[in-house]
Amino acid sequence: MRRIVQALVGIAISGAALWLTLRGKDVAAIAQEIRVADYRYLAPYVLILVGIHLARTVRWGLLLEPVAKLPFSKLNAVSAVGFMALVVLPFRLGEFARPYLVAERPRLRVSSALSSVVVERVVDGVFTGLLLVVSLLAVPDGTPGVRLLRTAGVVVSLAFLALLAFLVGAYRNRVLAVRFSEALLRPFSPRLAARASGMLDAFIHGLRLVPSRRKLALFLLLTAGYWGLNAWGMALLARGFGFQLGAVEACTILGVLVVGVMIPAGPGMIGTFQGAIVLGLSLFASREAVATRGVAFANVIWAVQLAQQVALGLFFLFSRHIQLGRLFAAPGAIETGLEAEEAEYRGEPGAASRD
Any idea where the domains of the chain sit in the sequence? 2-16+38-172+206-354
Burial 86-95 (b: 16+ CB within 10 A, else e): bbbbbbbbbb
**pLDDT given at position 353:** 37
At 224-269, the pLDDT tens digits run 999 999 999 999 999 999 999 999 999 999 999 998 888 888 788 8
At 184-230, the pLDDT tens digits run 878 887 777 776 777 777 777 667 666 678 888 999 999 999 999 99
Query: Taking the complete model, does pTM exceed 0.95, yes or no?
Result: no
How far, CA to CA in Å, does 94 sit from each of 79, 81, 259, 264?
A: 11, 9, 18, 12
Mark residue 328 as left, alpha or beta (left: phi above 0; alpha: psi -120 to 50; beta: remaining): alpha
Pair 314, 90: CB distance under 8 Å: no
Q: How far apart are CA 59 and CA 47, in angstroms?
A: 18
In which band, very low, low, confident or very high, does the pLDDT at 98 lie, cut at 50, 70 and 90?
confident
Pair 277, 257: CB distance under 8 Å: yes
In which band, very low, low, confident or very high, does the pLDDT at 347 lie, cut at 50, 70 and 90?
low
- For residue 3, give every residue at least 6 positions away whose Cβ sits within 8 Å of its Cβ, in sequence order, or none: 93, 331
In which band, very low, low, confident or very high, does the pLDDT at 349 lie, cut at 50, 70 and 90?
very low
